[in-house]
Amino acid sequence: MELTYERRGTGPPLVLLHGIGHHWQAWLPVMDLLAERHDVIAVDFPGFGASPPFPPETPYNAETAAFAIEEFCDKLGISRPHVAGNSLGGYVALDMASRGVVRSAVALSPAGFWSRTELLYARTALRALRKAARSTSEGTAAALMSSALGRAASLWLLVADPTRIPDEEILLGTEALRNAAGFDEMLNCFAWLAPPPPPKAPITIAWGDRDRLLPRRQAVRAGRWAQQRAKLLAGCGHVPMSDDPALVARVILETTGG
């Protein structure tokens, strides 16, 4: 299937994968930094952003998302790219590393390392964000962004400092969450999402130390799974690309060797 993407730079290919309810634009803060060393491709998963939904017979889960990205890379003539993903995209990146179909993988606050209580909390919080996005008109969303309290209420789960995020980025993100055709079914699949098999490619797991959606204690479990310490990203929330683009770019480039 044809997926929507943005491509910049030259060098070894690096594919960027967003989280549930988000879109490729989540990576805009770091794309130009990464494009100095890589052919960077930020892509919308099927049923998210501007990409078309899966056909009715294809379920939404992490595995089908991963295979869709592999098929996408094949169509672009890309073999074993580097990948970096956030949240759902982080899990998909690790899944691809587990199957050895990528050169390296960076996972930023990846899904799948939660306890039952933490999973219930995350799913409840994400459903609330989705409900708020679907019940908020564009005019109301713009009004919310004009107040510090409105910004904090809209973004506190996702970023450490809501004041850093441009209004246009917030409004586009709200629209992506509102219109994500694959959101509900993908969120339901989280109930049986467990860490993938051990990786067959170099990986880095990094976690915002102010992540309020998937708290940083999950980084300890992820580190045990990877048999390495997960990096903590100081001053960053669940979507660290928005909080500290330079730090996130450095972590990715250290892994890719770019």
What is the distance between the alpha carbons of residues 82 and 94, in angstroms, rounded to a whole number?
11
Q: Is pLDDT above 60 for 148?
A: no
SS (H, E, C) the chain: CCCCEEEECCCCEEEEECCCCCCHHHHHHHHHHHHCCCEEEEECCCCCCCCCCCCCCCCCCHHHHHHHHHHHHHHCCCCCCEEEEECHHHHHHHHHHHCCCCCEEEEECCCCCCCHHHHHHHHHHHHHHHHHHHHCCHHHHHHHHCCHHHHHHHHCCCCCCHHHCCHHHHHHHHHHHHHCCCHHHHHHHHHHCCCCCCCCCCEEEEEECCCCCCCCHHHHHHHHHHCCCCEEECCCCCCHHHHCHHHHHHHHHHHHCC
> For position 147, what pLDDT does the model report?
52
> For position 137, what pLDDT does the model report?
65
Least confident of 109-123, 130-144, 184-198: 130-144
Confidence of residue 153 (pLDDT cuts 50, 70, 90): low
> For position 150, what pLDDT does the model report?
58
Confidence of residue 166 (pLDDT cuts 50, 70, 90): confident
> For position 212, what pLDDT does the model report?
96
Stretch 233-250: mean pLDDT: 97
Helix (H) or strand (E) holding 104: strand 104-108
Confidence of residue 171 (pLDDT cuts 50, 70, 90): confident
Q: Is pLDDT above 70 for 33?
A: yes
Share of the chain above pLDDT 90, in %: 83
CATH class entry, domain 5-117+183-256: alpha beta
pLDDT tens-digit series, residues 188-228: 999 989 999 999 999 999 999 999 999 999 999 999 999 99
Q: Is pLDDT above 70 for 9?
A: yes
> For position 44, what pLDDT does the model report?
98
pLDDT, greater one: 172 or 6: 6
Stretch 103-122: mean pLDDT: 97
> For position 211, what pLDDT does the model report?
97
Least confident of 81-85, 94-98, 184-188, 191-195: 191-195
- What mean pLDDT value characterizes the chain? 93
